[in-house]
Amino acid sequence: MITFLKGRSLVSLHDLSGEEINAVLDSAAALKLRHRQGEQFFPLRGRTLAMIFQKPSLRTRVSFEAGMHRYGGHAIYLGPADIQLGKRETTADIARNLSRFADVIMARVFAHQDVVELARQASVPVINGLSDLLHPCQVLADLMTVREKKGRLAGLKMAFLGDGNNVAHSLLYGCAKVGMHLTLAVPEGYEPDEQVLETARGDARATGAQLEVSHDLGQALQGAAVVYTDVWASMGQEEEKARREAAMKPYQLNARALALALPDAIVLHCLPAHRGEEITDEVIDGPQSVVFDQAENRLHAQMGFILQAV
């Protein structure tokens, strides 16, 4: 048991050390192996997860619910009609109430400050299932996938193509903590948050990770062992879709772009994918794609954290 994660929340990967991130990945890998071997065990028996959803999701909801069920626990879905953070009731009061009913809280929200406030006021661990600023659960799964396929994290280079969004922000924090190099290839005007980048670079100084932001696709892909992309317009950005497509079209992950990376580079996408936009069918369905292994690892990585935190 990794006792130093007991009672801890997961709001940002910046809050965890590289040792703690690797410990979560070790826990996740052990859970995955035991499940693959057909072993049934229930370390979360009697535990309840309260799940707050301001945004709909396939992977987040199913991976948390299925994971809790698999290991003997129970998950309660709280949609927009059930709970309205800061509207019908204060976020602080919601956190205090749920802390009396549940052993852990997961929140998928619009405003990052909502999950920060939940974690501040709750007396049980709070997990950021996605906010407008960060997506730490996704990046734990990403790092788990890279470690499975490449055998290590430190010293590898990842190229992320497209928008400097919440996934890019969590990749900056996660890669910095584990010593993995990351170059974001983004159009002008779509760079990551400056404060996130500065903070991540501070973390990177301790591990030797090199974090770069570039407008040059070729530079970003050179030497990359991992190539990652995400949708160009996230939920809430629909009105910007046409403008974003025009700016990001040169950063599409297609066969020509993939050929600029290492020959054995793996392809990641956090899904859902807009095929023919940020990624082509031949790449996402091609032999270098590990996208659906990555999606599966959401369950293992999240349960790996919960098992140590509750």
Active-site residue, 274 included: no
- Distance CA(138)–CA(73), nearest Å, equals 21
| Catalytic-role residue among 14, 59, 61, 135 | 135
Whether residue 270 lies in the annotated active site? yes
Catalytic residue chosen out of the listed positions 47, 59, 108, 181:
108
CATH number belonging to the domain at 3-135+298-309, selected among 3.40.50.1370, 3.40.50.300, 3.40.630.10, 3.60.10.10: 3.40.50.1370
Per-residue pLDDT 10s for the chain (310 aa) are: 456 799 999 999 999 999 999 999 999 999 999 999 999 999 999 999 999 999 989 999 999 999 999 999 999 999 988 888 878 899 999 999 999 999 999 999 999 999 999 999 999 999 999 999 999 999 999 999 999 999 999 999 999 999 999 999 999 999 999 999 999 999 999 999 999 999 999 999 999 999 999 999 999 999 999 999 999 987 666 778 899 999 999 999 999 999 999 999 999 999 999 999 999 999 999 999 999 999 999 999 999 999 999 9
Q: How many CB atoms lie within 10 A of CB 134?
A: 27
In 3D, which of 243, 244, 232, 307 has the Cα closest to residue 274?
A: 232
Please name which of 163, 172, 136, 309 lies closest in space to residue 247, comparing C-alpha atoms: 163
The one catalytic residue in 114, 132, 203, 230 is: 230
The helices-and-strands tally (H runs, E runs) of the chain is 12, 9
- Point out the catalytic residue in the list 14, 47, 132, 138: 138
- 145-161 per-residue burial string, b: 16 or more CB within 10 A, e: under 16: bbbbbbeebeebbbbbb
Query: What pLDDT does residue 5 have?
Result: 93
Domain ranges of the chain: 3-135+298-309, 138-295
Q: Is 61 a catalytic residue?
A: no
Q: In sequence order, what are the residues at sequence separation of 6 or more whose Cβ sits closer than 8 angstroms to the Cβ of residue 49?
A: 64, 68, 73, 74, 75, 76, 102, 103, 104, 105, 106, 306
Catalytic residue among 298, 300, 302, 308: 298
Q: What integer pLDDT is reported at residue 194 of this predicted model?
A: 98
One fold for 3-135+298-309 and 138-295: yes
Superfamily of domain 138-295: Aspartate/ornithine carbamoyltransferase (3.40.50.1370)
**Does residue 132 carry a catalytic annotation?**
no
Active-site residue, 138 included: yes
Question: CA angle at residue 284 from 280 to 290, to 5 degrees?
Answer: 160
Among 112, 142, 270, 288, the active-site one is: 270
Say what the pLDDT of residue 117 is. Answer: 97
Report in angstroms the alpha-carbon separations of 295 from 231, 271, 302: 15, 8, 12
